[in-house]
Structure 1
Amino acid sequence: MRYTTFGRRTGLRVSEYALGTGNFGTGWGAGADPDESRRMFDRFAEAGGTFLDTADGYQFGESEELLGKFIAADRDHFVLATKFTMGATPQPDISRTGNSRKNMVASVEASLKRLGTDYIDLYWVHFPDDLTPIEEILRGLDDLVSSGKILHAALSNFPAWRVSRAVTLAELKNWAPVAGIQIEYSLVERTPDRELLPMAEGLGLGAALWSPLGGGLLTGKYRRSAEGRLSDLKTLVHTESTGQKTAVVDTVLAVAEETGATPAQVSVAWLRERAARASTSFVPIIGPRNLTQLDDYLGALDVRLAPEQFARLTDVSEVALGVPHEAVARAQDGVRGGDASRLASPTVPVI
């Protein structure tokens, strides 16, 4: 296991994998019991993993409770991240959801109690709520940093424009900086290449990348009617709903046969190579349901793709970047072709 700082805006040292613990517990009716959760935690720690990611709503609080017990013997060794927004109960009421200062304060106190700790290393705002002003969110997070209850603050599942505005406001107001973003990213979900990941690189934000296997699609198991997130939770999944997704799975399976690695390992190896080429830290969040799945993830640490294999996977999964990126690319191609005047002259349109 290698280590990196979480983005260029912090000195927070994290392992190259984050262990997502949404499957720690059975409150959702699916997941790992306490004994299996403990085995996964121990194996991750033995492999050198230090970065742990949970949320108050995972398994309706059970994930935080289990994780708190597991880290109790050596709390300071681990980088503990949790989230708030959605509430921690099956039927949260109006005062216990959203990103208001009221819910933020109540949520962090409840998480600290469940986790059995007096500080959280990285506190995520789980989702935007379309109601709470970003100024209220940032000022509340700044207070939590000042009080020592959290060390770093970050935004999960926020669009790029909101993150960019939050980063700028925090800088102007001298509030606690936004440390990073958390988003879905994989070979079957590469739309963050349009705005979110270039933004993270440009602003020096860390990026935690969830669902690196596309909800299990990239393992190829759903072609065998195997059980998984699709059959249990019926959420946060991809299916072969487009020709491109089918082509991506075909390519992953082909590369797996060539390398002798599993499809999951090939998919994560591509993501690790993608991260290595970034100018800031991209950290995959792995979310195993059992020890076998965790060992598969850990095995990807030893998989190296040939340049041609990486290129095949990159090309087959590429998404259209859209406006304005494609127009800019056309203009830059014109400059490289010797027609620089078209880009420089205000009287001649680029397109």
Structure 2
Amino acid sequence: MRYTTFGRRTGLRVFEYALGTGNFGTGWGAGADVDESRRMFDRFAEAGGTFIDTADNYQFGESEEILAKFIAADRDHFVVASKFTNGATAQPDVSRTGNSRKNMIHSVEASLKRLGTDYIDLYWVHFPDGLTPMEEILRGIDDLVGSGKILHAALSNFPAWRVSRAAALADLKSWAPVAGIQVEYSLVERTADRELLPMAESLGLGAALWSPLGGGLLTGKYRGSAAGRLSDLKTLVHTEDDDRKTAVLDTVLAVAQETGATAAQVSVAWVRERAARAATSFIPIIGPRNLGQLDSYLGALDVQLTPEQYARLSKVSLVALGVPHGVNDSVRDRVRGGDASLVAEPLRPVA
């Protein structure tokens, strides 16, 4: 087992996986009951897991309520992360959604009550709401850190330009710093390699990477059945809707056959290797629905890809970086006087 700090801007010690608890509960009509959730939590803890990721809207608050029962015996041992923006009910009113100071205060108080704790280790702004100024968000976070109700705060699903501006504002104003980002990342969703992950590496932000199995696509199960997230939640799912995704899955299945591991384990092993090569901490968020799925994720900790296998998976999954990266690459040697040793290589996505 391995532990790291969450980014270079905190001393918060976390396990190399975060246990996502979106499946703790059945409020969405799909998920795990309390007993199965307990089995998953206990197995994760037995494996050394300490980092738990939840949100106020997961199972409409039920995830936090279930989690409260599990952490109560040793709250300080666990690093608990929660989120706000969407509201904790199926149809929240206008005053209980968004990122305003009003909703932030309401949401953290409600999460603390559901979690049965007096502090949250890492509090995420779950989504940008398109309305609240970043200054209001940051000042609200600073107040919560100052009160001790949260220890660190971070931004989930925000574009890179907003995160970098937020980090600069917080530093300039001596407010609580932005600790990290949360973003979707897997072999079938690598667009974060364009801006978000290089930004995190440059600024020393921790990065929590959700959906490392592409919503289940990378398990290969959807080639024989639609059962799973695709049929139950019908959201946050990838399908083989282009040639690149088909090629990625073909390669994952081939490497799985070579290693004797499952396709899911190969896919997570690639994300772990990508994380090991980063200049800051990249933490996959695993989101099992049952104990068998959790055991598969834990089994991936023992899967070692060869350099050739890692390179093959990286190449087939590579996405075009787009503007301005291509233009910059074309003139890089020219501005270095034709000698690439003149200037240190900048932080770049790992191919």
Measure the CA separation in 2 of the matches of 1:149 and 1:339: 53
**Which amino acid in structure 1 is aligned with residue 16 of structure 2?**
E
Shift of 1:20: 0.1
Measure the CA separation in 2 of the matches of 1:140 and 1:208: 22
Shift of 1:56: 0.1
The reply to whether residue 73 of structure 1 matches residue 73 of structure 2 is yes
Aligned to 2:316: 316
Shift of 1:170: 0.2
Measure the CA separation in 1 of the matches of 2:316 and 2:210: 21
Structure 2: runs of 5+ lacking an equivalent: 341-351
Aligned to 1:218: 218
Aligned to 2:13: 13
Aligned to 1:40: 40
SS at structure 2 position matched to 1:122 = strand
Measure the CA separation in 1 of the matches of 2:249 and 2:68: 37
The reply to whether residue 206 of structure 1 matches residue 213 of structure 2 is no
SS at structure 1 position matched to 2:266 = helix
Shift of 1:57: 0.1
Aligned to 1:187: 187
Structure 1: runs of 5+ lacking an equivalent: 341-351
Aligned to 2:276: 276
SS at structure 1 position matched to 2:56 = coil
Question: Superposition pairs for residues 13-32 of structure 1, below 5 Å?
Answer: 13-32=13-32
Aligned to 1:146: 146
The reply to whether residue 172 of structure 1 matches residue 172 of structure 2 is yes
Shift of 1:331: 1.0
Aligned to 2:57: 57
Measure the CA separation in 2 of the matches of 1:240 and 1:334: 40
Shift of 1:332: 1.7
SS at structure 2 position matched to 1:225 = coil
Shift of 1:339: 8.2
Pair 77,168 (structure 1): closer, same or farther in 2 beyond 3 Å: same
Aligned to 1:126: 126
Measure the CA separation in 1 of the matches of 2:305 and 2:338: 37
SS at structure 2 position matched to 1:298 = helix
Measure the CA separation in 2 of the matches of 1:61 and 1:105: 16
After superposition, the C-alpha distances for 1:39-60 in whole angstroms (9 at most, x for unaligned) are: 0000000000000000000000
Comparing 57-66 with 223-232, greater Cα deviation is found at 223-232
Aligned to 1:257: 257
After superposition, the C-alpha distances for 1:270-315 in whole angstroms (9 at most, x for unaligned) are: 0000000000000000000000000000000000000000000000
Measure the CA separation in 2 of the matches of 1:320 and 1:246: 17
Aligned to 1:347: none
Aligned to 1:343: none
After superposition, the C-alpha distances for 1:194-222 in whole angstroms (9 at most, x for unaligned) are: 00000000000000000000000000000
Aligned to 2:92: 92
Measure the CA separation in 2 of the matches of 1:168 and 1:328: 25
Measure the CA separation in 2 of the matches of 1:256 and 1:233: 27
Question: Superposition pairs for residues 262-341 of structure 1, below 5 Å?
Answer: 262-334=262-334, 338=338
Aligned-pair Cα RMSD in Å: 1.3
SS at structure 1 position matched to 2:209 = strand
Shift of 1:334: 4.3
Aligned to 2:348: none
Measure the CA separation in 2 of the matches of 1:322 and 1:106: 40
- Given the two structures, how large is their TM-score scaled by the length of structure 2? 0.96
SS at structure 2 position matched to 1:124 = strand
Shift of 1:338: 3.0
Measure the CA separation in 2 of the matches of 1:335 and 1:171: 32
Measure the CA separation in 2 of the matches of 1:134 and 1:163: 9
Report % sequence identity.
85
- Given the two structures, how large is their TM-score scaled by the length of structure 1? 0.96
Runs of 4+ in structure 1 off by over 4 angstroms are 333-337
Measure the CA separation in 2 of the matches of 1:112 and 1:224: 42
Aligned to 1:155: 155
Pair 50,336 (structure 1): closer, same or farther in 2 beyond 3 Å: same
Measure the CA separation in 2 of the matches of 1:265 and 1:212: 10
Q: What is the number of residues matched between the two proteins?
A: 341
Shift of 1:227: 1.3
Measure the CA separation in 1 of the matches of 2:336 and 2:99: 47
SS at structure 1 position matched to 2:28 = coil
